[in-house]
Structure 1
């Protein structure tokens, strides 16, 4: 499975497709700007929401759920890359996070 660090992902700029597979409640508290939320609990039924024809980067809280989703996407023929450390590492490394209701 392909993986990328949060710093390498940030260096790619804003024109990348990032899917956040955390549950809606988690996503509603804090998210990386520009990400699309497709919770892992409904991921298999929501494959139609995954962009095709481009690399898809997959994120969760720390990397466990995104690893499973990335493996599933790769098995379906997608060019999928796991984001190591998830939004936790993204935040720790100083990259932007949007806080929503219930967040900061």
Structure 2
């Protein structure tokens, strides 16, 4: 699978960040401005993603997001995988929030 990839530091603060992890992972911790569409729902919710912007796709470590980015590119989007996923995001000290009221973490 040949998918464009960027490091977490290269994701712009105002970029469209798509998180394809499962609900429990999302609730534990995610980037504040990310849009959550679990990978299993991507094909039925793809209209929620803008076609006029680069889509930065993230998951826990980069595998699911690479598949999502490949499919998005195949159907006409400009999608890029975020290398290392949310684990690298957290390690790099990028902002995170949780939906639980607890300290955010990568589940």
Name the counterpart of 2:82. Answer: 83
Query: In structure 2, do the counterparts of structure 1 residues 45 and 30 end up closer, same or farther at CA, with 3 Å as the change threshold?
Result: same
Report how many residues are paired: 101
Name the counterpart of 1:101. Answer: 100
Q: Partners in 2 of 1:102 and 1:83 — Cα distance?
A: 26
The answer for unaligned runs of 5 or more in structure 1 is none
- 1:99 Cα deviation after fit: 2.3
Q: Partners in 2 of 1:88 and 1:103 — Cα distance?
A: 18
Name the counterpart of 1:4. Answer: 6
Contact 1:29 1:102 in 2 (8 A): no
- 1:52 Cα deviation after fit: 1.4
Deviation beyond 3 Å, 4+ runs, structure 1? none
Name the counterpart of 1:56. Answer: 55
Q: Partners in 2 of 1:3 and 1:103 — Cα distance?
A: 31
The answer for unaligned runs of 5 or more in structure 2 is none
TM-score (norm 2): 0.89
Name the counterpart of 1:27. Answer: 26
Alignment RMSD: 1.2
Q: Which moved more, 1:92-101 or 1:71-80?
A: 92-101
- 1:86 Cα deviation after fit: 0.7
TM-score (norm 1): 0.91
Name the counterpart of 2:46. Answer: 47
